[in-house]
Amino acid sequence: MEKKVNISTESVADVERVSATVSQNMKTFRRQSGLTLDELSRKSGVSKGMLVEIEKGTANPSIATLCRAATALGVSVADFVGVASSVPVRIVPPQDASTLWRGPKGGSATLLVGTNGPDEIELWRWTLLPGEIFESPGHSPGTLELLNVEVGELTLKLGESEYLVQAGSSVLARTEDKHAYMNCGTAELRFVMTVAELQRPRVRTGL
């Protein structure tokens, strides 16, 4: 029997807010880049149908999908969700952070703040409940991730290798290949992560 996941009204509102922000920003960046939906689809590897749904605000795209579209447009995921900063100091209050993944048991991945693209540095907070896994197809060449485990034990999978990172420990990993974050333990896992995806190609706009 399939287990049902209860989603709070607050979570639904957050998803709707993020969808609306991504919708507006993706349309703006695509038009600034002078790309049609067909061209963006070919450049990013994201289907035209998905791009249409994102721009309509009716899709709930994966983090990987947002990464591919952002790279193709020469921006960052933080640009999409409105938590990027181009000023000396920007404070992002908790209610403006964007939860971009929710696990089947209640886990989450929240983008707290990040830089403008095309180079990007992002700060994330992750929570994984026992048995939850998040898999990533990999990032652009040279991408680095820095993680600190606050509570629980993280099993970090890079390619075919697995590494156990215990509470209080930190790790630096090159994540240009497929990887996964797993909670193989019996307690809640919480960690913070910084992603540095630098020297990405800039997209020439029609401006």
Report the CATH number that the domain containing residue 68 is assigned in CATH.
1.10.260.40
Mean pLDDT of 122-135: 97
Sheet of strand 161-166: strand arrangement: 133-136, 179-182, 153-158, 161-166
Flag the least confident range among 104-113, 171-180, 191-200.
191-200
Residue 206 lies in a domain: no
Last residue of a domain, one of 84, 104, 125: 84
Is residue 148 a part of any domain in this protein? yes
Residue 1 lies in a domain: no
The per-residue pLDDT for range 46-66, each reduced to its tens digit, is 999 999 999 998 888 889 999
% of the chain residues with pLDDT over 70:
88
Residue 3 lies in a domain: no
CATH number, position 111 = 2.60.120.10
Of 55, 84, 113, the last residue of a domain is: 84
- Is the same domain home to 101 and 184? yes
Domain annotation covers residue 58: yes
For the entire predicted model, the pTM comes to 0.76
204 domain-assigned:
no
Q: Please report the sign of the dihedral spanned by the C-alpha atoms of residue 118, residue 122, residue 127, residue 131.
A: positive
pLDDT of residue 202: 52
At residue 192 the predicted structure's pLDDT band, cuts being 50, 70 and 90, is very high
Q: Is the model's pLDDT at 74 over the cut of 80?
A: yes
Report pLDDT for 2: 36
pLDDT score of 86: 67
- In a shared domain, residues 76 and 133: no
Residue 184 has pLDDT above 80, yes or no: yes
Q: Read off the pLDDT of each residue in 157-174 and give the average, rounded to a whole number.
A: 96
Residue 76 shares a structural domain with residue 122 = no
136 and 174, same domain (yes or no): yes
Length of the chain: 207
* Domain co-membership, 75 together with 125: no
Whether residue 151 is predicted with pLDDT greater than 70 in this model: the reply is yes
Question: Is 123 in the same domain as 185?
Answer: yes
Q: How many domains does the chain have?
A: 2
- State which of 84, 111, 128 marks the end of a domain: 84
Average confidence (pLDDT) over 145-169: 97
Domain ranges, residue 149: 94-197
Residue 13's pLDDT band (boundaries 50, 70, 90)?
A: low
105/177 same-domain check: yes
Clarify whether residues 159 and 113 are in a common domain. Answer: yes
Is 145 part of any domain? yes
- Return the pLDDT at 59: 86
Return mean pLDDT, the chain.
Answer: 87
**157 belongs to a structural domain:** yes
Same domain, 21 and 47: yes
